[in-house]
Amino acid sequence: SVSGSLSSGEVDKASAHFPLCMAHLHKKLREESHLKHGGRMQYGLFLKSIGLSLEEALVFWRQAFSRKITDDGFQKNYAYNIRHNYGQEGKRVSYPGYNCLKIITSNSPSAGDHHGCPFKHFGADSLRENLSRYRLPNSLSPLLNPVQVEELMGLAQKNHFQIACTRLLEYSRNEDNLETVINPAQFYELSKTSTLK
């Protein structure tokens, strides 16, 4: 697992290093002040895996939903599931973050859902748009150039989803031959620890 800890107030800043799937969930959470169950699970367990404690998770989600959901409603309808993910309810299993294979192969998003893997689940136009505006946090040139975007599009079209994701990380770190990304936390850690200035 991952070293370090993250407070609820640090998530926005950390999101600069998120892979496309989690950057999308974070953006939608901020836009809509809500995520459906599939998104809360995928994003919540990811945040846990990168160091958000149960106490901080309860603060993070309550604040994130506060434009739409009262404190009371939050306690009634959402707090249990968060505690459950941290092994504090039900079977008391502390659940790990989903790996890429699980995100890619199970529980395909329906309309209104924001979970899933963008390389697999987004339509071509939406994927291209997301790649075109992805900020490379470690790079002097903050955006992918059009040739790079089309390379990633081509990999996704050939079902090489994780290779496309890895290539994005390589562009971000200005490095070749990284090991294939197998879970979103790995992408985050490697992006965050890039030695590039």
Please state the closest distance from residue 187 (CB atom) to ligand SF4, in A: 5
**Who contacts 49 (Cβ-Cβ below 8 Å, separation ≥6)?**
1, 2, 96, 97, 183, 184, 185
Place of tokens 């959901």: 69
Tell me the CA distances in angstroms from 163 to 20, 82, 115, 158, 169, one per residue in order: 13, 31, 19, 10, 10
Residue whose CB is less far from ligand SF4, 61 or 98: 98
Q: Which is nearer to ligand SF4, 82 or 100 (CB)?
A: 100
Handedness of CA 74, 65, 185, 11 (dihedral sign): negative
- In the bound state with ligand SF4, the residue whose beta carbon lies nearer, of 6 and 20, is 20
CB of 93 to ligand SF4, least distance (A): 22
3-state secondary structure of 21: helix
Q: Give me the least distance between CB of 66 and ligand SF4, in Å please.
A: 27
Closest approach, Cβ 26 to ligand SF4, in A, equals 12
49 vs 85 by CB, closer to ligand SF4: 49
Q: Toward ligand SF4, which CB reaches closer, 24 or 62?
A: 24
Contacts with ligand SF4, residue ranges (CB under 6 A)? 19-21, 100, 103, 117-119, 161-162, 165, 181, 184, 187
Residue 88 CB, nearest distance to ligand SF4 (Å)? Answer: 26
Closest of 144, 147, 112 to residue 36, by C-alpha? 112
